[in-house]
Structure 1
Amino acid sequence: MDKLKQYWVAEELERALGDPENPDSTMSFKRVIEIDESEEFPHQEIEWLYNWKLQHHYIPVNCGGEFTSFEEFVAFVRVLCRRDQTIGIAFTTMFWSFLTWMAGTEEQKQKLATYIKDEHGTMCLGYSEKEHGADLIGGDLTATKVPGGYLLNGEKWPINRATISGVSYILAKTDQEDGGARGLSLFMVEKSRLDPANYYNLP
């Protein structure tokens, strides 16, 4: 019996990755152990996934991609994480793009889709802080309206893939008087447009 359509991508990916017990296969068990022991970022494996065009399945069809359902999405992420959870999580930070697919403008959606598909771009999410952990309402980072946009002031930590992501989603307080969730806003920040003198990465 043929597998249901929502499992086709997972099946094709599994087949393309090859036998994990074969050391010459992409993401073989031997290779992922080497990556783990070296504590290096899996650049080679991530690039293989981009070249296989898996990133297209993180972009909705109406934005020019091939995402059709979360059932399909979970199925192929499970394939990745069975090989190596680090690689699976590293590639799937692209999932934060759904913040734009759900609430972004059409211009933002099209720009992000091009960035992901053609530039092999990815993104990260900054919501937690050293002093407040995951207490989102308790965060100190602020966004103040200024001519031409907003000025973000503060820090987020830790952020997965912060140093190697071109787009950062940053949660900030935009209403100092409203101490609840309505006083928060989420910003899509293109790091290439920032002045390097105005921000830095924390260790």
Structure 2
Amino acid sequence: MGSEEKPSLPGSAAYWERRYAKGGNSGAGSRGEHAQFKAEVLNRFVASQGIDSVIEFGCGDGEQLSLAEYPRYLGFDVSPTQLSRTMARFAEDASKSFALYDPIRYSDRAGIITADLALSLDVIFHLTEDEVYQRHLEHVFGAARRYVALYTSDADDPELTGEFAPHMRNHPVLRDVAKHFPEWRLRERIENPHPWSREDTDGSISDFFIYERTGVS
């Protein structure tokens, strides 16, 4: 695109609402080999750690959730259109709850909205606004009693793939979590088996970063 202006975006939440309203889905990361990899990692972790409840910030179209084996689940999403569809998809599943997520109008100072494990899967690099990104981390870590699993990129470069992905932005996640959430330690990093590159754009830019609250075994 050279010196041409990049396409303007209405904001991350508005982008996803518009995308879903036009019939789009949650993307390649929630399908095929990428979805299977995430499900295998998370299902194994939930079982091995005796996790009873899971909260996810960004449940999307439910494709990833359809592979999950969670005892109890609460899924948030910013898109009213897609959330209604996902709720309908799992309407007969009594183990799953859903709610609309507005990062600016979300507050849980009383600590009511909590679970053993909080998830953010392929969400963070879609948060193009600094405030929304910061609030997202606050809400994810604030909702977790024992563990947090982030599946995202981690880099200082604010550009992800330049003009090829105007709705995506890298964030220095490891640095920011260490700075703002010192009571959490990185328990494990699990690299995805099919990384993205300019030569292989079918790969994923994300890896798992699994955090554990200090003092919790």
Settle same-fold status: TM greater than 0.5: no
Question: Scaled by the length of structure 1, what TM-score is found?
Answer: 0.29
Whichever structure has more strand as a proportion of its residues is 2
Give the structure with the higher percent helix.
1
TM-score, normalised to structure 2, is: 0.27
